[in-house]
A and B are shown apart, each in its own frame.
Chain A
Amino acid sequence: MNSLEELNAIRDKKKDELSQRKDSQNLRIVVGMASCGIAAGAKPVMDAIIEELNTRGINDIKVSMTGCMGICRLEPIVEVIYPDETRVTYANIDAEKAKRIVAENIVNGQVCTDLTIEAVQNDDGGK
């Protein structure tokens, strides 16, 4: 890194890429993969999302991981991020629900309203 300009160039390029302003078709999927998420089963969720996207031949959706949002009780958490940065946050997700998210939210643009963090925040996680 030789100069601040170089840093700014990386920042601007990545910002564009993340918000994908030019291509409004693309969503991003982010899975919480901190220790709490992994302990709660984020890995099979991530696998299920990738598998489902592959099965459907969708290869323009970026799937990545992120850290802990802080509400460990509701992990695994999956977020679908729209090009304009609005987010749909899903909580208490397992592999089956993850496939549903791909099918409904990604493919068909329908938010799975029964799986959002707001909808499940009062569940006690099975126990």
Chain B
Amino acid sequence: MADIRACGGTQGTPEQERRFAEIIEKYKDTQGELIPVLHEVQEVYGYLPFFVQKKIGEALGIPMAEVYGVVTFYTQFSLKPKGKFRVSVCMGTACYVKGSQEVMLMVKEALGIDVGECSEDGLFSLDSCRCIGACGLAPVVMVNDDVHGKLRAEDIKGLFSKYRM
């Protein structure tokens, strides 16, 4: 489990603080508001560092432990910052039977990072994801919103060069 204190920072920019307040205002009368709030707040900060979770707990009157419990339960919520380019290798069944393990191996090799990590220059972060629904193109790798399909192990080296420019 990640050390929660390591999940950086103590406050956001004034713009982030303003948008945070708007989100809290929008959901204050909704039942079961925590998950939609987490989704939108993560959009604002890019991830959910410790201080943000604390703020959410205080604003919604939910114990910090419960906020943290929910954040760590769902894979969509991240305690770590993401790279400028978020690389996801699809590990759905269709991609798996078409060799996504090899693709994953080559991606790790090419980026020099493991799943869940972010490269030191902040350019790439790597995740594995469940089916993104492009099974016709299996195996696929997503870089932000771009889908790269029908990949073979040897395609990977060249895949990231255009993002490095």
Which A residues are closer than 8 A to B by beta carbons?
Answer: 35-36, 38-40, 71-73, 75, 125-127
In the complex, whether B134 has a CB less than 8 A from a CB of chain A is yes
Is A127 a contact of B140 with CB atoms below 8 Å?
A: no
Is B150 a contact of A72 with CB atoms below 8 Å?
A: no
Interface bin, chain B: 10 to 19
Is B149 a contact of A72 with CB atoms below 8 Å?
A: no
Bound: A101/B152 CA distance, A = 31
Bound: A35/B140 CA distance, A = 13
- Interchain nearest-CB distance for A31 vs B (Å): 16
Residues of A close to B135: CB separation below 8 A: 36, 72
- Interchain nearest-CB distance for B56 vs A (Å): 31
A–B complex contacts, Cβ < 8 Å, 24 sampled = A35-B132, A35-B133, A35-B134, A36-B133, A36-B134, A36-B136, A36-B137, A38-B147, A39-B132, A39-B133, A39-B134, A39-B137, A39-B140, A39-B147, A40-B134, A40-B149, A71-B136, A72-B134, A72-B135, A72-B136, A73-B136, A75-B136, A125-B150, A127-B152
Residue in B closest to A75 when the chains form the complex, CB atoms? B136
- Interchain nearest-CB distance for A68 vs B (Å): 9
Q: What is the 8 Å Cβ interface bit string for chain B, positions 138-157, against chain A (1 contact, 0 not)?
A: 00100000010110100000
Residues of A close to B149: CB separation below 8 A: 39-40
Residue in B closest to A124 when the chains form the complex, CB atoms? B150
